[in-house]
Structure formats: C-alpha cells, structure tokens
Amino acid sequence: MAATDALPSRLRRLAAAVRRALAELVASCARRHGGAQGSSAAKVFGVVGGLLAGSGAGGVELPEDRADAMYHRWDGGGLTAQGPALLVRKSIAEKVSLAATYYVDMLSNASIDVVTTASPYKETRSEYGLVADYVYRNSHIIVAGSSSSEPDYEARAVNLDVAQEVFGGMTTVNLGFSSGSDDVGKKNSPEFSETARHWRYRIGLAQILTPRWLANLNFEAVSDDGFLGSPYRTALVFGASVPERVPSTRSSRAVKLSILGEVVRDNVAYADYRYFWDNWGIGAHTFGAGYRRYFGEKLLADAYLRYYLQDAALFYSDNAQTETAYVSRNRQLSTFSSISAGARISYRAATLPGGYPLLVNGAYEFVSYSFDDFTDVRTGSLYSYNAHVLQLVLTTKF
Amino acid sequence: MATAVRCLIIVLVALAACAGTAAAVQASPAAASAPDFTLRSADGPNVRLQEQRGRVVMVNFWATWCGPCRQEMPHLNRLYGKYRDAGFTLLGVNIDDDQAKAVGLASRLGLKFPVLLDSDKKVSRLYDLSTMPSTVLIDRDGRVRYLHLGYREGFEDTYEKQIRELLKE
Amino acid sequence: MKARLSISLRLPAASVVLLLAAGCSIQPWVKPYERERLADPIMSMSNDPLSDKHSVHVREVREGARGATGVQGGGCGCN
C-alpha cells in the first residue's frame, strides 16, 4: 500500500547504519573487557530490568485487574507446608497498575534433617509484596518489592523488569534485575546474627515462530554473598557431626528454552529444557513437557511431567573421608533426581453480580525425590521420598 | 564502570532501533486510490467501498482479541454519531476467525457503525496491515489521505481533526 | 567482599543485541491479523501469578538449581 512504501526503505538504511555502529561498540566492549572480573559491569548492566518472559504474544498491555485467593500445600519428606496467599491488582490511571500480595507458609517440620538432629517444630513464614506495572508504548516496566519474615530469617528483595516489544511485535526482549538482602538468625541464640546478599540478572527473548507456535529463551545469572548455609545443619566428617562449612560466595547461571504450540485447534503442547551450572560444581538438567486443552467453553485442563537431574556440589559429602575447607551434607546440594507428574484444571465457575467472572483453578502434583549420595541415617540406605503438592485458587477479574 | 555503561547503552540503542520500526507512525502518504473491496456486514447486506464515494470514509481494522482496538471503539462510535450527517461514514472491518464472536462483541459494545467481516483476511492482505488496529482515512474522491497504525490515547483527537478537514473539502 | 560473576553477562547481551540488529531488516512474517490464536489464554506460558510463584518456590528450596524459570523476582531467601 502506498502509505507504507516510503518507510521501510528509509528504516532499512537506518537499521544498517545502526548495525554497523553497534558492531563497532560491541567489538570495543569485548576488547576492553578481556579477562576483567566484570562485576561492576554486570551490576550496572543488570539495572535495566526484565520481566516474566512467559507472557506469550499478547502485545504490551497492562495486566488485567484481578483478585486471587489461594490455598497451597506441600506434604512430603516429613514436612507439611501450607497456607493462604492473596493477590489484589488494580489499574490506576491508564498506564499504571498496582498489586499487593500476601503469602503465608505454615510449616510443620519433621523432615529427616530435623528428626535426626533435633525435634519436630512448627513455624510460620509470612511474605508481603508490592508490584507496580507501567506501560509506555511498546515497553512494560515492573518494579516490585517484597519482604519475608520468619522467626529466624528475614529477607527483603527488590526487582526491576522491563519487557520491550520489537520487530513488529514478533519478539519481546525481557531484562530483569533483582537484589535481595537477608538477616539470618538462629533460634535460642540471640548472639548469632549473619547476613546474606543476592543478585539476579535475567535476559530473555520471547519469539513468535508461526501463528500457532511460540518460543522463549531465558538466561539468568545469580550471585550470592554472605552466610549461605544453615546454622542448624551439620555435616559428617569421619562419621562425626560438625557444623557445615559452606563458601561465602556463589555464582550460578541457567539457560532455559521453552516451546509452546497449538497442535490442533484448542489443544496445546509445550516442552522446556533448562541447564544450570554454578561455581560450586553443581550441574543440573530440568526437562518438562505438558499438554493443555479446552473441554467446552469453560474448562481448561493441563497435564505435565517434569524430570530433574543434579550433580553434587564439589564440597558435598554424605560422610567426608578427608578434611576439606568446605563440607556440607545438605541434600539440596547432593546428586539426586526428581520426577513429577501434575495436572491443573481451570474452570469458569460462575459470573458474579456485576458481570465479573469467578474462575476456579486447582492443581495437584506428585513429586518423587531419589538421592544417589545421601543416606537416611535411620535406615542406612539411600534416601528417597515422595511428596504431594496442592494448589487451589479462586480468581475474579474486574 | 564506563565500559559497563557503554554495554547498557548498546542494549538500549538496539532496543530503540528495533522498537522504532514497530512504533505507531502517522504517515501522510502520497494520495493513492484506496483499494476497493466488498465485504458482508454483520447485519447481512454486502458493503462496497466504492459505493461510499462522495463521503469521507474511515476504515478501521479491529479484532475481538486486540486490547487497543476495544479501547478505541467508544471513541469511534462517538465520531460516527457526530459526523454521520455531515457526510462521514465509518466501516469497522473485523478480522476474527470466529464471526459470531465479532458480531457478539459489536452488539455488546453498542457499535452504531457498519461492522464488516473479513475472516478470510482478504482485505487485510489487500491493505497490507502491519499493526492492529489500523485506521485509514479516505477522502470523498476515494483517495487514502491518512493512515494510523495502532491506537494510543489522544489518537481520537487527531482522527476528529482530520475528519473535519476532509469534510470541508 | 562483593560477589563476582565469573562469566560476564556481555556474551548473552551481545547475542541478543546482534540478533535484534539483524532482525531489523527482516520483515515480520506473522502478520498482526494472523495473531488471533496467540492471544488466547491457552497459549500463555504461565498460569496465574500466585500459582507460578508457589511452584517455583517449592522447587527452589529443595533443588540446587535456580533461575531462568520465566517467573520474575528472586526467591524468598529463606532456609
């Protein structure tokens, strides 16, 4: 059409000039930084935020107003963690949306660590969050803060994420930065007071492949500093219990590729793979796949499988036979695999007075963990356990 | 630190460069004849663009799944009611696969102007739509005078100004 | 002592930038009027915000891996 003919050629010339300039800058960037630590570069760089890359291809719009109430529950490995969670989101002015979240975790902990070194206990953790979204042209900016507290641990975090639609809306670039700061305490030990800091940098690309297929590529670097262990956890060295010694820094990377597509009308299949590695020697693979379909107008069902594999940290040992600077028996850092299967149902239950929809969402997942180098000291054999995860959510949008 | 800031600028410039190609542009194209088309309207009868010669025509391409399109509708409705008697007409070309959904939303929104159904996308391809929504302003001689890609707050004031200008000719 | 990132972020950033720059000269091949299916909630990579947050949290406190989940924000940092 005549209207748009003049524009593409002018833009193509501009794009070519920009490309040349960018290539020069990037090359000089790489030359300058050969071998440098890159810490300040990374931190300043990370301040340009990023967002949830999973938003699909709906264009840049403010998230819709909503109120959600959830009941969540984890039952497994001797631990029960359950509680409510609430979310309320409202747009104020055409371009800004605010949300507040409240999350409670009530733990009843009789897990293997607890029963073999102490006695079962109950504890409650609560977390408050505030999120502000701002949409300007093709950009979506999110600023969020959260504060979590339990009797022996306080954590605060801020996040900044920016999603930018480019390339005619076919591609969304997401950049994100999070910074967290924790105060670590120890029950019945008022003199114990440590801190930990965390930084996360995310970059992601959401790409429309065809009118029915999408792909996402995400990369996240996490950096921790400070007291990264647990004051209650012990390690075994030559069979004797010693307090664990964990490095005071950790630096990790993760890359994830996801694909989602409509295979048949109203039937969607998706799959993802994530590779994780860090400077503690842990390498992990996560495989996921699932299928979703509509049943009639009101019901959406989703079923998925997840398989997780991890290699132990360098200083992890079930029962260390040498003296090393760092040693830990934290099974979270051991060699293990986990397989889970889950299903989720979303149902448009009713329409409330005023025309607001009431959506009911229920999910159940069965997870099985099996450890290759962590023994259950009560039985002497390798530890494994199963868990059940439940989520029930009521949502209304207005 | 300086190199870090440079890296930051690189990414922002790249984003701006590519985002720029997709930003809504208000173009004043060389006046070319608007491609003719005939589409079935939601009420039933066929509507042909050429038959609207003598009136100022605004063709608005929209879809039920497009947020900015829905935001724009009340403004278009108002403009249609206001300038209809002065020789202005508005054709809302809907591109949903599901025509029933389109007709349903049109009646829920109380659209007074003709809603035309282009579910096989023939007219969308003819007009080489690059953005949703797209609004084309055609003068009394059937020539394209203004093209608006996308919708943002304040566009409706520009539409009104341009409609009045074309009506005066 | 500040934590140091041993591998710089510049490589992924530079790749994204070059992809974008190259992409500037290719025309979008999925036209906006073909994006109807993509706007359907079934095509969303995430569920609702509370569910996603909970799912990521229960895994992150039990597994060594973290990050790149597509869910914004850091974990609670709790032990």
Instruction: Kindly state whether C33 is in contact with chain A, defined as any CB-CB distance less than 8 angstroms.
Output: no
C70 touches chain B (CB under 8 A): no
* pLDDT for residue A260 is more than 90: yes
Report how far apart, in Å, the C-alpha atoms of B123 and of each of A1, A284, B129 are: 12, 51, 9
Confidence of residue C25 (pLDDT cuts 50, 70, 90): low
User: Would you call A117 helix, strand, or coil by DSSP?
Assistant: helix
Tell which residue, A63, A59, A82, A60, has the closest CA to residue A72: A82
Q: Which of A158, A180, A81, A68 is nearest to A126 (CA)?
A: A81
The two tokens of residue B74 are 């009340």
C8, A38: Cβ pair inside 8 Å? Answer: yes
**Structure confidence at residue B19 as a pLDDT band (50, 70, 90):** low
Tell me which residue in C23, C38, C65 faces A167 most closely, judged by beta carbons.
C23
Query: Is domain A51-397 annotated with CATH 3.40.710.10?
Result: no
User: Of the given ranges (A24-38, A296-310, C56-70), which has the lowest mean pLDDT?
Assistant: A24-38
Q: Provide the β-strand partners of residue A30.
A: none
The whole-angstrom separation of Cα A256 and Cα A258 is 7
Question: Is A142 within 8 Å of C72 (Cβ atoms)?
Answer: yes
> Strand runs (DSSP E) across chain A, as ranges?
66-76, 79-92, 96-109, 121-136, 139-150, 153-166, 171-184, 194-210, 213-226, 234-237, 240-243, 249-264, 267-278, 283-295, 299-310, 336-352, 356-375, 382-397
- Between β-strands B115-117 and B88-94, what pairing exists: parallel, antiparallel or unpaired? parallel
pLDDT at residue C20, rounded to an integer: 63
- Nearest chain B residue to A33, by CA: B3
Q: How confident is the model at residue A163 (pLDDT cuts 50, 70, 90)?
A: very high
The per-residue pLDDT for A15 is: 53
Instruction: Report, as an integer, the average pLDDT of A163-180.
Output: 90
DSSP 8-state assignment for residue A59: -
For residue A32, the chain B residues in CB contact (below 8 A) are: 3
Residue A234 to residue A228: CA distance in whole angstroms: 14
- Residue A312: both structure tokens together: 């132990």
Give the global pTM: 0.80
- pLDDT-derived band of residue B13, with 50, 70 and 90 as boundaries? low
- Cβ contact B65–C24 (<8 Å): no
| Domains, chain B, ordered by start | 26-168 (3.40.30.10)
> How many residues are listed for chain B in this entry?
169
Q: How far apart are the first and last CA of chain A?
A: 40
Cα distance from N-terminal residue to C-terminal residue, chain C: 22
CA distances from A360 to A75, A86, A251 (A): 22, 14, 40
List C-alpha distances in Å: B81 to A306, B45, B91, B113, B162. Answer: 56, 21, 13, 8, 16
Distances from the Cα of A45 to the Cα of A100, A141, A170, A361, angstroms: 28, 16, 25, 38
CA A24: distance to chain centroid? 35
Q: What span, in angstroms and rounded, lies between the C-alpha atoms of B116 and B43?
A: 9
Q: Which of A108-122, A384-398, B69-83 has the lowest mean pLDDT?
A: A108-122
Query: Which of B14, B66, B95 is the closest to C21 by Cβ?
Result: B14
Q: What residues contact residue A280 under an 8 Å CB cut-off, 6+ apart?
A: A247, A250, A252, A313, A314, A315, A333, C64
User: Which residue in A196, A199, A173, A160 sits closest to A39, CA to CA?
Assistant: A199
pLDDT tens digits for B87-98? Answer: 999 999 999 988
Helices (H), chain A: 2-32, 39-46, 112-117
Q: What is the pLDDT of residue A142?
A: 95
For residues A323 and A237, give the distance between their C-alpha atoms in angstroms, rounded to a whole number. 7
Query: Hey, which residues 39-68 in chain A have their CB within 8 Å of chain C?
Result: 39, 41-42, 45-46, 50-59, 68
What is the residue extent of each domain of chain A?
A: 51-397
CA distance A275 to A26: 26
Are C32 and B131 in contact by the 8 Å Cβ rule? The answer is yes
Structure token pair of residue A34: 């050969």
CB–CB of B11 and C23 under 8 A?
no
Closest CA to A108 of A83, A137, A136, A144: A83
What are the φ/ψ torsions at residue A58 (nearest 5 degrees)? -80, 5
Is the CB of B67 less than 8 angstroms away from the CB of A43?
A: no
Work out the average pLDDT over A8-26.
Answer: 58
